[in-house]
A = this chain, B = another copy of it.
Amino acid sequence: MAMQTPAPSTERKRGSGAKTVYELLRNDILDLVLPPGSPIDEVQLAEHFKMSRTPIREALVRLAGEGLIDTLPNRSTMVSNIDFLNLHTFFDALVLMYRVTTKLAAQYHRPADLLEIKARQSEFATAVANQDALAMIAANAALHSAIADAGRNPYFVAVFNRILDDGRRILRLYYQSYGDRLPQQFVDEHEEIIAAIAARDADLADRLARIHAEQIVEQIQRLFARKDRFDISL
């Protein structure tokens, strides 16, 4: 188990243990530092973070609740797999939630939401300019998550964040194998979407979100088609 994040030295505040472990592990999973199938060892984590197994366990229970790790009773725990055989369910959910959350954002956003959204878009543009795939993937998820927040529907926010999490893993899986150009096109599309939200044009936001989502789906499908041809091992 390759761990990226050595937890700091000094004593932690009470109550922060499980939270920090949760967040660090979560990021390592989503960035594929811990790829699917990686074994998760409680005692190893406890030693690594210099705390007892109890807060580790709490973090793992939470991650299991989000479907990011799988726990075999009385046996082992490991990072959950990505279900490539049913990618279409992922695409269906992605397109629908892109549309719904963007439309709701156009209807219900407040001024502060727009600032947040634009900040995320700015980070996304910077990552694309720097050809930093990891940062771009995370910024993309953060941007759309911010749009969903502006829509103010907690149910949609919750699903969408799960979808975006899986999207982070899937995109990372591709971009770490192929050093493609990062798509400037998405930056422009984001700008259009944000403009539609700011104009409170719900129908336009819906249409743009749909086009944007379907293009992302199409790109992922092309990528995986290529992967199938050239890289069977994955």
A residues with CB within 8 A of B: 14-15, 54, 57-58, 61-62, 65-67, 73-74, 86, 89-90, 92-93, 96-97, 100, 104, 152-156, 158-159, 162-163
Contacts and interface: CB of A to CB of B under 8 A. Distances in A.
Contacts of A159: 155-156, 158-159
Contacts of A155: 89-90, 93, 97, 159, 162-163
Contacts of A15: 73-74
Q: Kindly name the residue among A57, A155, A156 whose own CB sees the greatest number of chain B CB atoms within 10 A.
A: A155
Given A58-B58, A86-B152, A155-B163, 20 more contacts: A14-B74, A15-B73, A54-B54, A57-B58, A58-B61, A61-B61, A61-B62, A62-B65, A65-B66, A89-B152, A89-B153, A89-B155, A90-B155, A92-B104, A92-B153, A93-B153, A93-B155, A93-B156, A155-B159, A156-B159
A78 B155 CA distance: 21
7 contacts: A61-B61, A65-B66, A89-B152, A89-B154, A92-B104, A96-B100, A159-B159
Contacts of A65: 61-62, 65-66
Contacts of A66: 65
A14 B155 CA distance: 34
